[in-house]
Structure 1
């Protein structure tokens, strides 16, 4: 073949080769992926085999096409071989078709290193093992048909010999499959025993079918004194308060048997000085829509929980120690200002400034104590929410006038409810003052309220600076303040919303928000209608 013919993609006879057609009509599947497993190209053979349009495959992850077990094998076995030796051959995996069917395959791959601006690429060949077995059966059938034409003795001997070979091949394949299964099981167990997280896999009845060494150690911590082993219902598992035993239906494994998936359930295992806190996450295992069991992960968060408790104690103690001298300072300032006519005017003005700042500092200390105290104790009495909202609007009016903010009430004249009016007024004042404060250049703040037989709802919306998605995720965290508010030098310490959330949840309600940066924020409080 001449250089010209080779460079132009021509055969020796001069006919052009359509390499793209050859790629897509190949009897084997081909994939080209990046190092992170993202599919950059796939041929039509592979796409047709798994029943998914080729365009939908490009950009997805190869791992998303594999069952969980094969994902682990590919990540821990195949990828390291590509990284070190740049190739691997004959790895048995299953692919998931568009309808969830598992399709057996053998894959081989080699890695083309990065060059210039082109990233490293993995070229993967996928052999359809199912079709291969069908082809072998067809071949055996054809051989048997040909042998029937021979003499009776030769035909019988050939049939017997072929059956023996088939049995040997099946036995070999079975032995290889068994060895591969054992290897995968050993690899999975090694991986699970390496991580510092307790992992347990249970079936639909809650029986443990796979447990790593870390989880076995955790379970031993929760055994009753003198016990060697016990079911979960007998283990010493407590709620967040460390003293109340979890009822059976709230224990992690029992929740999974009931079909629940959950994240970050805080439980305490064991008792006394050996007691440890764990954050439990569970996900159900589904196969063709049927519940097959669950996977649970137990993360030790004792250090984090203790650190949070220590921080709360520190804040509460410091705040308490600050309140006493502040009260004394304010008392003496009030006493000095009683004789305002007998002291120079500039001294009286300075004393009033000191008194105002002392009052602000005392208010901050009170907020710190409220936030550290956690959920509020409430006393429900008959009240009128409309009256509470009107009172809050009256208090916010001077600040709104300074910020050129229009206050718009939108609620009925009366809304009889049964709640703690002092606590709910604190929530309304916090939300309303925030709405005015974070609309520094004018705008509109709307206060709405309505009720149904089951729920009481009030909503405070503004057209102010708003929040990003990242800021919304942290808005109910103590001492959090958005970057925009800090840049604008808007005063605050980030405790008002935390206190408001505690009060609302103590009423059995919820507080949510919707916001967009530069477009404003809407806070919605929903309380249950009860006790009227």
Structure 2
């Protein structure tokens, strides 16, 4: 009994040292990680630490309430450290240049800094060391597994979205070729031929993106190809195609005849197509879908508006998130929007812009995409998938 009480006292002392010295532990960990891990050197302090302060707090609590059992998987009190290390791995999957090896290295450094602190404060014991080792191993395995699972989820979603988008232009090209008759006049044949060629070209552009998605790494999205173009021409293409496909009236509003800048035309078309499709799917069938453009010297804003049931404020906060949080049940309503909105955000950010959402009972739903005209030089870049709670 006395021996148990003495060990219990030792555990509380070690836990207190961790809590009191938490800022110093994190600072020392951060200093070493930035020095030893390449990907860490380009992250902000807040992004770098991510869930690790929470993991540290979890470790202190586990040590304090140690009752002789270290079977984490069968004890609810260990759920938090598993959840926080899982979130840490998912965050790293959306941070550029990270690898499993670097994540494991982060935890090795974390373990060493924590052990050195406990030894320096003279509270390190055999039991403390065993618990620390076990908790770190659990956190390492959870984070590494979460990281690899998240990368696989990225690839599957990117490939699935791109593959889905390829169907429409291929179907359009097939239709154009199928309806050509031997007795058709020259003008009709030329129009159908042009339609088929446009659709096949679009398919080839998407196939290239599909191949890129297969090799996606941490923090990466699709590859964009920037060139000097008239973006209004691309939006008109989407508007005309949507008018032929959907029963809703599609209205295009622009005060300009031409809006030039350095854009990825294929990506912008896909973004607007995605928003129009969602507007038709979730909006009112009785009202028009309005695509409008607001042009300035350095920026263009593309808006897609629909009437109908609004998106709730709670869902507005989550709708652009890329990865599902943890292993909680998915929100079926949000999931049905697909990966498209994440790509909308990713494409906007690659153009130096942003996406805004306004949705309420009185005014319907409007997605606004701000794009900077000359943020990029002509050429290819890989987009980033940013992990964000906002």
TM-score between the two structures when normalised by the length of structure 1:
0.38
Structure of larger gyration radius: 1
Q: Which has the higher strand share?
A: 1
Q: Which has the higher helix share?
A: 2
TM-score between the two structures when normalised by the length of structure 2:
0.49
